[in-house]
Chains A and B, each alone.
Chain A
Amino acid sequence: MSVILILVLASLSLAGLFLAAFVWAVRSGQFDDTQTPSLRVLTEDGPSSLPLAGKPGPETITKHEHRNI
C-alpha cells in the first residue's frame, strides 16, 4: 500500500498550498470585510444587465437593498 504514502503526500502538499493561500488571504485583508463584497457583485454592471421580460428593472431593487444595509 505504498501508494497511500504518495497520495497522502500529494494531498498534504495540496492542503499546504491551500493553507498558504488561506494565510495570505487573511493577512492581506481579503476577509476583513464580509459585507460589501457580497453587495459589490450586484452593482458591477454595464449594459449587459438588462431586465428580463415582464419583470421590474434591477436598479430599483438595488437601491432598496442599499438602504436596508
Chain B
Amino acid sequence: MNIETFKYDNKIVRAFAIATIVWGIVGMSVGLLAATQLFWPAANLDLQFTTFGRIRPLHTNAVIFAFVGNGMFAGIYYSLQRLCKARLFSDSLSWINFWGWNLIIVAAAVTLPLGLTTSKEYAELEWPIDIAIAAVWVVFCVNLFGTIFQRRERHLYVAIWFYIATAVTVAMLHIFNSLAIPAGWFKSYSIYAGVQDALVQWWYGHNAVAFFLTTPYLGLMYYYLPKAANRPVFSYRLSIVHFWGLIFIYIWAGPHHLLYTALPDWAQSLGMVFSVMLVAPSWGGMLNGLLTLRGAWDKVRQDPMLKFMVAAVTAYGMATLEGPTLAIKSVNSLSHYTDWTIGHVHTGALGWNGFLTFSVLYWLIPRLYRTNLYSVKLANYHFWIGLLGMMFYVIPMYVNGVTQGLMWKQFTAEGFMQYPNFLETVLRLVPMYVMRAIGGSLFIAGVILMAYNLYKTAKAGQFLAEEEAQAAPLTAAEDKKPQKLHRLLEARPVTFTALAFVAVVIGGLVEIVPLYLIKENVPTIASVKPYTPLELLGRDIYIREGCVGCHSQMVRPFRSETERYGEYSKAGEYIYDHPFLWGSKRTGPDLHRVGGKYPDAWHYNHMDSPSSVSPGSIMPRYPWLLTQKLDTAPLASRIAALRKTGVPYPAGFEQTAQADLQKQAAKIVANLKTGMVEAPPDREIIALIAYLQRLGTDIKTEAQPAPAKTN
C-alpha cells in the first residue's frame, strides 16, 4: 500500500482557541454589565452606548457567535483533520474563515452599542454584516466539504455528520431570516411583517439554538469525550440514530416560542408536539455520552477535562428535558416572558456550551503545545467555581420566573388582580438579580483562571504548528463515490456553477418572496393603518434603543393579561410591523396597548427619569432622547424601503412626509405644554412619544362604533 505523509494544521486551531478565550471573557463581562443594570440601573454609566437595551444583544452575539462560534471552529478544525486523515482543504480559506469571522464580531461590537440593529433576536446585525456572515459561512462550508472530499478515511465518523448538518442548516436559516430591504447603509426593514416575521424569526431563532449551539457541540462531544476517556462511545449505533432523529425533528419546533400569541393555533400545536418529541433524540445523545464513561468514572475524578465534559453533558440533558416541558402550552403560559426562560437558556449556555468549550480547550492546548497542563489543581478550582457560578445564576432565575409568573396571574377572592401594579412584581425579583450577578461573576472568575492556566501551559510547552501524520489514500476500488465527488470538486466549472446557482437562488428569493408575501398584507382589520412619518421614526428609535429586550408587544388571551393591559393582540394589527416587535421577555410591562394610556407629558418625564415617575423602577434613564435632535433626513429612503416591503404608502408620500411630521410634532409639543413640559419639537423624544401613543390604538377606533364586532 502506498502510504502518504501529510501535515495537520495546528496553527488555525490555536488561533480559534485564543479567540474563543478572549471573546468568552469579553462576552460574559458584557453580560455581567447587563445583569448588574437590572438591580442597579446607574451601572449603564449614563451612556446610551452601555445601556441594557443596546448591550444585551451585544452580550448574546458575543457569547453565541464569538465565544461558541470560535470554540466550534477550533474544535471542528482540529478533529476534522484527524477524523479525515487529511489536512484542511485550503489554508487560505481557513484564514479567511478566521479573520472574516472575527472581523464580523468586531463589527458587531461597534454597531450594536451604536444602536444599529434589526432588533431580531440573535440576528440583530445589519445587512452589510449579514452579507459578510453569509460569505464567511460559505468559506467554512467549502473548507469543510473540501476536507471531507480529500479524506483518507472512507468512513465518516458521527462527529462529521453533525458538522455537516451544522454547516448546511445554518446557511439556510441565516439567509431566510435576514432577507430585508435596505434603507441606507446600516438600516433595513425585514421583508416579513408582523406574524410572518415572528414565525420566520423563531424558526431561525430556535434552529440557531439547534444547529449553532447544539449540533456542532454534539459533534465535539462525540470526538473529545471518547478521546479523553480513551474508550469508544457507548453505542455507535445509538449515535447514528441520535443524529438522524435530532436533525429531522429539530427544524419543526420553532413555533413553541410563540405559544398563545397571534400565531394560528395549528402552527402552535405543531411546534409543541415536535418540541416534546425532541426529548427522545436529545436524551439518547446525553445517555450515550454519559454511558461512554461506564467503568471509567475514576478518570473523571482525576481529569478536570472530563469533569467539565460530564457536567456539560448533564446540563445538556437537563436543558433538553426542560425545553420540551416549557414548550407545553400550559407550562408556557406561566413561564413565557419571565426569567424562567433566561434560566433555561443559561443551563444550556453556561453548562452545555461553556463547560464543553472549557473541556475541549483543556484538552487541546496541552496537546498543541506538547506538554502537560500547567496546573490540574487550578483547573479543578475552575470547575467548582464555574459550577457554583452556574447554580447561583440558574436557581435565582427559576425562583424569579415562577414568582413573577404566579404574581401576574394572581387574582383576589373578589376577582381583582392581586398585583395590579407591574412594578410590584419586578421589585420582588431584585434580590435574585443580585444573586444572579454574583453567579455570573463567579463564572467569569473561573474563565479567567482557565485563561491563566492555559497561558502558563503554552509558555511551558513548545507549539507544534505542523503535525506530521501518515495514511494510505482512498483507492477507487475501496470506494467509488468520494473519488467521483473529489473529481467533481476539482473540476472548477462545476464548482463555479454550483456557487452561481446558490447566488441565483438567493437573488431569486429576495425578489420573489416579498412579492409573494405582500398579497398577505391586505388588512383584515380595516382600521389598521401604516405608521405616520413621525411614528415611523419613533419606532426606529424604539428599535435602536433595544426596548424590545424588556418590553413585549403581545397581549396574550388570558384574563390576567386583558385585565392588566387591555384587549388581547390580534394578528391583523401587525401587518405593517417590519420587523415585528413582540419581544420575548417582560422585564417591564407589555406595551401593545400603551397608546393613549398615559398623557404625553407622562412619557416625557418617564423617559427622562423612570424612577421619579415610578419609584423603584429599574428602567434606565434616557436623557439623551430629550436632547438629541431627530434626524429626519433618512425619512424618504425609509418610506421607500417600507413601500418595497409592501406597506401601502401612496406615491409621492415622501414629499408631504416632512410637513406631516412637523404637524404631528407640533401637536405633541402642545400636549406636553398642557402637562407643564416645555420641549422643542425637533427632539427624538417627540417621535418616540408619537409611536408609543399610537401603539395598539388602531382597533380602538373600530371598537367604538361597533363594539360587538371585534369578538
Contacts and interface: CB of A to CB of B under 8 A. Distances in A.
Interface of A: 1-4, 6-7, 10-11, 14-15, 17-18, 21-22, 24-25, 28-31, 33-35, 37-42, 44-55, 58, 61-62, 65, 69
B223 A41 contact: yes
A44 B247 CA distance: 28
A53 B230 contact: no
B226 A50 contact: no
B85 A15 contact: no
B226 A52 contact: no
Interface string B195-237: 1100110010000000000000000000100110011110111
Given A6-B513, A18-B247, A30-B155, 6 more contacts: A4-B199, A37-B236, A40-B155, A41-B157, A48-B467, A54-B302
Among A6, A45, A65, the most chain B Cβ lie within 10 Å of the Cβ of A6
B156 A25 contact: yes
18 contacts: A2-B196, A3-B200, A4-B199, A14-B168, A24-B481, A33-B155, A38-B233, A41-B157, A41-B227, A45-B82, A46-B467, A46-B468, A48-B10, A50-B366, A51-B372, A52-B373, A55-B303, A65-B232
Contacts of B513: 6
B200 A7 contact: yes
B165 interface: yes
B373 A34 contact: no
A50 B251 contact: no
A4 B373 CA distance: 51
**Most A Cβ at <10 Å: residue of B85, B155, B513, B519:** B155
Nearest to B82: A44
Interface string B179-203: 0000000000000100110011001
B267 interface: yes
Given A2-B520, A28-B479, A41-B223, A14 B251 contact: yes
B232 A39 contact: yes
Nearest to A37: B155
A62 B230 contact: yes
Please provide the 3 A-B residue pairs with the shortest distance between their CB atoms, ordered closest to farther.
A38-B232, A3-B196, A38-B236
A50 B371 contact: yes
A18 B372 CA distance: 41
A46 B267 contact: no
- Max count, chain A CB within 10 A of own CB: residue among B192, B232, B233, B468: B232
B340 interface: no
A48 to B, nearest CB: 4
A33 B161 CA distance: 16
Contacts of A3: 192, 196, 199-200, 517, 520
B367 interface: yes
Contacts of B371: 50
Contacts of B233: 38
A7 B203 contact: yes
Interface hub of A34, A35, A38, A46 (most chain B Cβ within 10 A): A38
B230 A58 contact: yes
A7 B173 CA distance: 10
Interface string B152-171: 01011110010011001100
Contact of A46 (B158, B239, B240, B469): B469
A24 to B, nearest CB: 7
Chain B, interface SS category? helix
Interface string B236-248: 1101100010011
A18 B165 contact: yes
Contacts of B464: 47-48
B372 A38 contact: no
Contact of B373 (A48, A53, A69): A53
Contact of B372 (A25, A39, A50): A50
A61 B10 CA distance: 26
Contacts of A31: 240
B248 A15 contact: yes
Given A28-B481, A41-B223, A50 B155 contact: no
A2 B164 CA distance: 30
B422 interface: no
A30 B468 contact: no
B43 interface: no
Contacts of B406: none
B479 A15 contact: no
Contacts of B165: 18
A58 to B, nearest CB: 5
Nearest to A32: B155
A37 B372 contact: no
B373 A1 contact: no
B516 interface: yes
Given A33-B155, A48-B370, A50-B371, A38 B467 contact: no
Given A24-B481, A41-B157, A49 B367 contact: yes
A40 B362 CA distance: 23
A51 to B, nearest CB: 8
A55 B267 contact: no
Given A7-B203, A14-B172, A30 B267 contact: no
Contacts of A40: 153, 155, 157
B58 to A, nearest CB: 29
A4 B98 CA distance: 35
Nearest to B165: A18
Contacts of B158: 37
Contacts of B305: 52
Nearest to A46: B469
A67 to B, nearest CB: 13
A61 B299 CA distance: 12
Interface in B445-480: 464, 467-469, 479
Contact of B226 (A1, A14, A34, A38): A38
Contact of A17 (B85, B168, B223, B469): B168
Contacts of A33: 155
A64 B200 CA distance: 52
Nearest to B364: A48
Contacts of A39: 232
Contacts of B252: 11
A3 B215 CA distance: 26
Contacts of B479: 28-29
Interface string B76-108: 000000110100000000000000000000000
Given A1-B195, A2-B516, A33-B155, A42 B373 contact: no
Contacts of A51: 372
Contacts of B161: 25
B417 interface: no
Most buried by A among B235, B236, B237: B236
Contact of A52 (B82, B223, B366, B519): B366
Interface string B5-16: 000101000000
